[in-house]
Structure 1
Amino acid sequence: MAHEEPQRPPARPFGGRDGAACSLPLLLAAPAGTLAGILVLTLLCLAVFAFFMIRDLLRARAAILRERELRRSAEEELRAYVDLLPIGVVTIDASGRMALANRRAPALLGLSLEKMMALDWTRPALSIIDGDGDGLEDDELPWNRALSCGRKITGIVLGVEREDSGEWAWISVSAQPRSDVAGAVAEVICTLEDVTQQKTTEAELTLHHLRDSLTSLPNRALFMERLSRAILRSDRRKFFSAVLFLDLDRFKVVNDSLSHEAGDKLLVQVANRLRGCLRPEDTVARLGGDEFAVLFEDILSVNDGINVADRIAQGFVQPFTLNGQEVFTTCSMGIAISTGSDTIPAELLRDAEVAMYRAKAKGEGSIEIFDPSMNAQALARFHMDADLRRALERNEFVLHYQPVVGLRTGRIEGFEALVRWRHPERGMVPPLEFIPLAEETGLIVPLGKWVLEEACRQAGEWRRKFPTGQPRLMNVNISARQFQHRDLIHTVLGALHAADLEPGSLKLEITESIMMRDPEASLEAMKVFRSMDIHLVVDDFGTGYSSLGYLKRFPVDTLKIDKSFVEGIGRDPESSAIVAAVISLARSLGMRVTAEGIETQEQMQHLQRLHCDQGQGYHFSRPLPPEAAEALLAQDPRWPGSSFSQ
């Protein structure tokens, strides 16, 4: 039997299933061919792993490149699509810089793309107003509102002055905010739609409701609406708002002398000139007639309001041209300033109007700031105005008559008719309290007509009762409004005819300031009166600014020396010299002279030595009611000290 060798256990593979890894000594003890195979196998595994890794990386890069290309293509397609839109599209980031703008946007805004990209849109240096024409704060702009609140803002209409053409465009703006991954607003996408045509159509539809049809200025309703909003904004802005109330001086002269059509043309030119004196954000409105109002905001003090008023006054220095004729006019202005958001708009406008009337009372072209004490005066004026309008209906006016005495004879040569108001509660109201108000309100025209008719009636009655060889003349004062009124001649003729009085028995007294407002028109009117044998007197001579060149052309019968000069005669060298010069001038022009305000014997005698023709004053008689004046006529007095007795 052969000797059998003991069987060896089968060799276990490297890293066998039983988990016992070959030890390093065993690996090193392995044959060289086996070791090389293992290394080759390892490198092969690594190469396969690297291949698949590189493949995946290349695929990922290719996917990224494809995605970028797709995104670039999509963005280009989107931009091309956005560029084709008929509306403007822009994006503005949180810092106020514009990141994107389509082709339509620059054309809408009238800006170059470079200028749009360079602007800080949180504070754009552009002329922008809201849909009503008011100025806007930067934080009220729709894109700034969307950036600050994080909500969509839609359909905000803005007016933008296009930089390239200077024209105004109306644009509807919507703003949609976009957030970043952290939830913060990163940018806002704005759409811009041109609504100029729609806005123009709306303006035309609302023109009759919110605009003055003659001047196209805002009317009272629109002005009050803007004033209300301005007052509400005043607290937030920490500034004041002010109202300037403006009334043209002597506007009625233009209407009466040149026609109402010329008056309308003047109002249009005034409106244009006012626009040129103000900022774009200010509001100027025509309230009616020749009254305008200006609203200006963001003022710090009353001095800012005065500066605006001065600028307007300077704008009226140059003449207006009406039908080829130059016309000069001024305006009276009143200013009232809001005290805060609790100011009532209607009261602020009323206060400005009250201040304007105070300015007008001071003189043409004046400016007055409202003071609360004016309210009581305005209320009294309101009541006076109402009473004055009823006074004619109730026959509350009466005439008193002051004798005009011949200084050579000492006898009555005529009377001056002076109107008095017999108020049912206040008694006799002095003329200085109601005549200026009647002149201002236009009531002087019907009142003056009544005075003319009553004075002529009384003169006719006395002429029939006391016939004399020399007719006694009746002097009647003509106010500025009466003299400028186109019906004055017919009124005078009607009064003479009704009283059966000869025209030569009437003297019309006109102040030199009235005549010199429009010398040429005054000259024509006075020629008509003289052709009718009606006498003309220049009243208060020496207090105005008559040109001697015009004076010698005026068909005047008598110069009446103002009582302020007569008062100082004999003791004031200047007054005495003026009186002597007036008398000498009148004689050289073939005119008579009447001195008013004679109160002493010495004054009368001094005037006699200067050969003054007539005089009136308390030295002879106060103004008398009709019965007393008639009794005086019946006595046919001769005042002692007159030259006839010397």
Structure 2
Amino acid sequence: MSVRFGLQAKFLAGMAIVFVGVLALIGLMWQRQTSMQEEVSSLGRESMRELVSDRLKRRGESAVAQLADSLTNPMYYSDLDAIGNIARAAMRQPDVAYVIVFDPQGRIVHDGSGDIPAYGQPMNDPFAFEVVSARSPHTQSSDRIVDIASPIMIGDQRLGGVRVGYSLAAMRSDEDRATQAMRTRLDEIARRHLGWIALLGAALLALGAIVVGLVQRTLVRPIRQLADVAHEIESGNFEADAPVTTRGDEVGDLVRAFGRMSSSVARHDRDIRRMAYSDALTGLANRLAFRESLDRRLLQLRGAGRQLALLFADIDDFKRVNDTLGHDAGDEVLVQFANRIRETVERMGGEGAMLARFGGDEFVILIESVLSPTGNHGDVRTAASRLAEALVAELSRPIVVHDRQVFLGTSIGITLFPEDASGSTMLMKNGDIAMYQAKVAGKNCHRFYSRAMDQAVERRVRMEQDLRGAWERGELSLAYQPVYSLADGQLRGAEALLRWQHPEHGAIAPSVFIDVAEQSGLIEVIGPQVLRLACEDTMRWQQAHPSADQMFVSVNVSPRQLRSGDLPRQVATTLRDTGLEAARLHLELTETAVIGDEIHASGLLARLRASGVKIWLDDFGTGFSGLSHLRRVPVDGVKIDRSFIADVLRDPDDLALTTAIIAMAHSLGITVVAEGVEKEGQYAILRERGCDLAQGYWLGHPVSASDFSLLLA
């Protein structure tokens, strides 16, 4: 049975040889170094440092205690001049780096300067915390400063404190001089023993060479081979061959283990790359894989006369699925959508088509022009259009999730290479723009990118820029549409409507600029201004016409204002500042704004109603929840959408639905308002069915605040 002489045994044997050699050399040096050690020990630098530091500390504590006593009266009477004189006098003392007088909360009262730039600021240096909390003299130190602090007391009352920082520069200078003297003496000793040290150094060098040679042969060489392989792996070559050895010691075990690890790393790299380039939910390629593939395709196609199309598909109203059915249902919808898109692309996308999910509910498809039987490349625009139409039709079919049918759809934007752009970044940007235009066009359709779309985006950006500050420039104003009682025909209130008179483009439609304000966040600035002006105008009407003391004003609130959670505070502040009675203010919210987060919205609306403000649900009947929503959302009134009122005379279904809304609302004690009344017949039938209030062009157009005051007169 062979005995294994392992690496550890070899190393211990070598170390034993080195140890014996070192002992022999130390024995030779010992007598020669005795006198030097005695001289070095007698010149201990630390002893001098401790001595000087202790002296400085005692002197400083005594001085700071006296300084605290002298500051008692000036601090008690807040006499900054006296405090400054005392602080400046202390600053003139030797080795004093700073003097800080502070109050009980740690704020600086005086720092010895003329203008006290840090007055009232809290001390934030590393020593400050212990200084502020200390109830007795306290000393702290660093390499450069000894900080000594003392509280300023009058009886048991703590008026503040004083800190004095003593510089250790002078002490360091003394230490340096002493050190230099000690170094000079050591140099003299070193020169006397230089011959012996050289002899011993040569012996150690020879011994070290022997040890290095041994380590080089048994350790360094195989480890270097492993390092070379590791470098190959680091550079991406995971298939690099590990060195092979027949050694039976630990290095041999290490080399063999490294070989197994290299194989494992290569296997895991393949798995990681697959994970990094695929979407975890759908298994499709992700954004990174798609972008790299697109860049490769563009390099191959550039100059080859071939075309390429990108289709950006975004699910319409997908957020509604997450909000109403939950995120698990949303994930299931995404998986089903991905499967339908994959099947359609495989069927119609042609050779070389690629599908990826960019995250969320956005999918991107790449298709190329293919060779026809005659040898010509097919028209990629036609192929993209056919694929987009097929996708719109396929994704319009209902999806069954959690035993419920979900009807969605998709908006698709298409951009072409090289017609629209020659680079991947611009192509992807153009695809996003085209997809956005498909949503603007009504969703569930496709649109090709065009230069005019860039202009539309630019116009929207310019409109957002012009809208900033429009209120301050006087371009935004309020118009008021009268609201009448159907029972007696009396004027009961007004709806405040925002109008924008652009200095160059004239009147801008509210449906245009309010959408821009909502998406850009400007509505959170404009909304409170509209609310305040509407309340101020209503107060002016009441003061000018005492009979109008029961007039109300209704103000529209955007979904963004509702989500911010600050609406109750804004309303309370506005009512307090303007003096308007809370019951005279009606806030209008769309049904879809409330549906997004019903729990949050219900809490806010309950707080508003508790203050006396009335809540109306605008555009009622157009949302997803219908009449059942009234059971869960605290509202005082509903406004039947004008789309129902328009056909109430000729469409029995609209009449029946309007009648049902009125009856249901009245059964819940909710006021009903009809908007868009433009014919006398509409007015008559609504009054017959018991509708409470109405507004529309037949009753009155929106007018300025002064003209509305004439209506009251």
- Return the TM-score normalized by structure 1: 0.54
Counterpart of 2:602 (choices 508, 523, 536) is 523
Counterpart of 2:636 (choices 539, 545, 557) is 557
Kindly indicate whether structure 1 or structure 2 has the higher relative contact order, using CA contacts under 8 Å at least 6 residues apart: 1
Aligned residue in 1 for 2:571:
492
Aligned residue in 1 for 2:513:
434
In 1, the alpha carbon distance for the partners of 2:638 and 2:553 equals 16
For the pair 1:242 / 2:310, whether they are aligned, the reply is yes
Q: Which amino acid aligns with 1:510?
A: L
Deviation of 1:624 after TM superposition, in Å, equals 0.7
Classify the secondary structure of the residue corresponding to 2:483. strand
Aligned residue in 2 for 1:643:
none
Q: 1:292 to 1:582 in 2, by over 3 A?
A: closer
Aligned residue in 1 for 2:540:
461
Deviation of 1:457 after TM superposition, in Å, equals 2.7
Deviation of 1:372 after TM superposition, in Å, equals 5.0
CA contact (8 A) 1:245 1:349 kept: no
In 2, the alpha carbon distance for the partners of 1:503 and 1:253 equals 37
CA contact (8 A) 1:401 1:417 kept: yes
Aligned residue in 2 for 1:230:
297
For the pair 1:512 / 2:591, whether they are aligned, the reply is yes
CA contact (8 A) 1:249 1:364 kept: no
Q: 1:405 to 1:589 in 2, by over 3 A?
A: same
In 1, the alpha carbon distance for the partners of 2:410 and 2:490 equals 47
Q: 1:270 to 1:439 in 2, by over 3 A?
A: farther
Moved more, 415-424 or 528-537: 528-537
Counterpart of 2:645 (choices 546, 566, 583) is 566
Q: 1:283 to 1:543 in 2, by over 3 A?
A: closer
In 2, the alpha carbon distance for the partners of 1:359 and 1:525 equals 35
In 1, the alpha carbon distance for the partners of 2:313 and 2:474 equals 35
Aligned length: 431
For the pair 1:421 / 2:500, whether they are aligned, the reply is yes
Q: Which amino acid aligns with 2:560?
A: R
Q: Deviations over 1:562-582 (max 9, x none)?
A: 223323334443333333222
Classify the secondary structure of the residue corresponding to 2:507. strand
Deviation of 1:608 after TM superposition, in Å, equals 2.1
Deviation of 1:423 after TM superposition, in Å, equals 0.2
In 1, the alpha carbon distance for the partners of 2:697 and 2:473 equals 31
Deviation of 1:332 after TM superposition, in Å, equals 5.8
In 2, the alpha carbon distance for the partners of 1:171 and 1:315 equals 49
In 2, the alpha carbon distance for the partners of 1:585 and 1:479 equals 26
Q: Deviations over 1:351-391 (max 9, x none)?
A: 21222222332567776443555344334333333323353
Moved more, 309-318 or 385-394: 309-318
Deviation of 1:286 after TM superposition, in Å, equals 6.9
Deviation of 1:539 after TM superposition, in Å, equals 1.5
Q: Deviations over 1:467-488 (max 9, x none)?
A: 3475211111122333333323
- Map 1:204-219 → 2, pairs under 5 A: none
In 2, the alpha carbon distance for the partners of 1:247 and 1:447 equals 31
Could you say which structure has the larger radius of gyration? Answer: 1
- Map 1:209-358 → 2, pairs under 5 A: 227-235=294-302, 236=304, 238=306, 240-242=308-310, 244=312, 294=364, 296=366, 298=368, 301-302=383-384, 306=388, 334-339=413-418, 343-358=422-437
Counterpart of 2:475 (choices 396, 404, 415) is 396
Deviation of 1:518 after TM superposition, in Å, equals 3.8
In 1, the alpha carbon distance for the partners of 2:631 and 2:499 equals 34
Classify the secondary structure of the residue corresponding to 1:391. coil
In 2, the alpha carbon distance for the partners of 1:575 and 1:500 equals 41
For the pair 1:476 / 2:555, whether they are aligned, the reply is yes
In 2, the alpha carbon distance for the partners of 1:542 and 1:271 equals 29
For the pair 1:597 / 2:665, whether they are aligned, the reply is no
Q: Which amino acid aligns with 2:496?
A: A
Q: Deviations over 1:47-103 (max 9, x none)?
A: xxxxxxxxxxxxxxxxxxxxxxxxxxxxxxxxxxxxxx989xxxxxxxxxxxxxxxx
- Return the TM-score normalized by structure 2: 0.49
Moved more, 337-346 or 592-601: 337-346
Identity of aligned residues (%): 30
Q: Deviations over 1:504-554 (max 9, x none)?
A: 221111222333344444333322222222211122223333343332332
Q: Deviations over 1:196-241 (max 9, x none)?
A: 69x98xx99xx9xxxxxxxxx9999998776444323235595624
CA contact (8 A) 1:414 1:474 kept: yes
Q: Which amino acid aligns with 2:678?
A: E
In 2, the alpha carbon distance for the partners of 1:564 and 1:274 equals 33
CA contact (8 A) 2:307 2:417 kept: no
Aligned residue in 2 for 1:618:
697
Q: 1:434 to 1:170 in 2, by over 3 A?
A: farther
Classify the secondary structure of the residue corresponding to 1:566. helix
Deviation of 1:630 after TM superposition, in Å, equals 2.1
Q: Deviations over 1:447-467 (max 9, x none)?
A: 323322322232233333333
CA contact (8 A) 2:287 2:356 kept: no
Deviation of 1:336 after TM superposition, in Å, equals 2.1
Deviation of 1:420 after TM superposition, in Å, equals 0.6
In 2, the alpha carbon distance for the partners of 1:253 and 1:462 equals 46
Classify the secondary structure of the residue corresponding to 2:468. helix
CA contact (8 A) 1:240 1:340 kept: no
> 5+ unaligned residues in a row in structure 2: which ranges?
1-224, 242-261, 277-283, 347-351, 370-379
CA contact (8 A) 2:414 2:447 kept: yes
Q: In angstroms, what is the RMSD of aligned CA positions?
A: 5.3
> 5+ unaligned residues in a row in structure 1: which ranges?
1-84, 88-103, 105-153, 159-168, 174-192, 208-216, 321-327, 636-646
More helix by proportion, 1 or 2?
2
